[in-house]
């Protein structure tokens, strides 16, 4: 099954260009492409778009996880530093007493 009817309609609508001595840069060869090939191309393109979207979502999620992990590591490190500092201050106070 081909789409010759669509090609014919496109050719008819482009007749005014030919009358004005325009040369159509692309010959309409879509009539030779079977519909199932066009559907396959559309499905393949759609699949590629979905893959790209999923990749972007995954990268974004991974970045968010890394940011959260880094924040948690910084919080834990600051907590240890503060705890150690407080302990050192208490030890110094106790030694002075």
Q: What pLDDT, in 10s, does the model give residues 13-61?
A: 555 555 544 444 445 555 566 767 777 788 888 888 888 888 888 888 8
- pLDDT for 78 equals 92
> Model-level pTM?
0.43
Measured torsion, CA atoms of residues 45, 25, 12, 9, in degrees rounded to the nearest 10: -10
Q: Which two tokens stand for residue 39?
A: 């559907």
Residue 34 backbone phi and psi in degrees, to 5: -65, 150
> Given a cut of 60, is residue 8 above it in pLDDT?
no
- pLDDT for 1 equals 43
Distance spanning both ends of the chain, measured CA to CA: 98
């Amino acid at each position: 099954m081909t789409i010759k009817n669509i090609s014919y309609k496109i050719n008819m609508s482009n007749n005014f260009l030919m009358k004005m001595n325009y040369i159509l840069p692309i010959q309409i060869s879509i009539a030779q492409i079977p519909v199932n090939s066009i559907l396959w191309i559309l499905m393949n393109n759609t699949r590629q778009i979905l893959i790209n979207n999923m990749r972007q979502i995954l990268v974004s999620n991974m970045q968010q996880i890394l940011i959260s992990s880094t924040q948690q590591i910084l919080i834990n490190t600051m907590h240890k530093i503060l705890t150690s500092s407080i302990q050192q201050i208490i030890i110094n106070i106790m030694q002075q007493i």
